Amino acid sequence: MSGLLVAVNVVHELIRGPTRWTAIDKRPVRGAVEVGELGVAGDRQCDTRYHGGPDKALYAYAIEDAEWWAAELGREIPPGLFGENLTTRGLDITGALIGERWQIGGILVEVRSPRTPCGNLSGRMDIKRFHHRFARTGRVGAYLKVLHPGKIQAGNRITVLHRPDKAPTIGDSSHR
C-alpha cells in the first residue's frame, strides 16, 4: 500500500481559541523540511497536555476525508485547515491500524492513536460544537510517532512498511 504526501503544514500564527491559545492555524510550506522526534521544524503546539510529545509528534489527515468534509459542509477544506502537519492522498488513514509503520521521504513513522478533537477545532471552523460532529464520523486522522527522523516534502511517496496482525483501526479507536 502506498500514498502521496500532498502537503507539509506548520503553524502560520497562534490564534485565540474558544478557551485558550492554539497553534491549529497550520499552512503548507515549500521544499524539504526537517522532522525530529517531536515533529516538523518550524511547528509548535500550545497545549502540550493534549498535543505534541513523542507519541503525537505528527498529525496526519487524508485529503479524501477533507474532500468528504468539503462536500458535507459546502466549503473548501485546504491542507492544514484541521491542524494537520501531513496532508495525504491515497492512504486510508481512518482504516490505518494502530502500530502501522510508514516510510515518508526520509522518515519512518508509526501510527499511534486517533486525534481527539477539542473546542479549538470548532472555533477554527466557526461551527458550534463541530469537534463533536468531527469525532462521531471516525474521520479524525492519526497521530504519528517519529521512529527515524529526517527530511520530507510535498510529493514524497508514503509506503506502508508494516501492518500489525491484530490491531484496532484509527476509526474504531476514535469511537472509544
Domains of the chain (ranges; CATH) run 2-174 (2.40.33.20)
> Where do the DSSP E strands lie in 38-149?
39-40, 58-62, 86-89, 101-104, 107-114, 142-148
Supply the pLDDT for residue 17. Answer: 75
pTM of the predicted protein model: 0.94
Supply the pLDDT for residue 16. Answer: 82
Q: Along the 176 residues of the chain, how does pLDDT read in single tens digits?
A: 789 999 999 989 888 877 778 888 899 999 999 999 999 999 888 677 667 788 999 999 999 999 999 999 999 999 999 999 999 999 999 999 999 999 999 999 999 999 988 888 998 999 999 999 999 999 999 999 999 999 999 999 999 999 999 999 999 898 75
CA torsion, points 114, 84, 36, 28, in degrees to nearest 10? Answer: 160
Q: Are 47 and 40 in contact (CB under 8 A)?
A: no
Phi/psi of residue 129, nearest 5 degrees:
60, 20
Supply the pLDDT for residue 176. Answer: 52
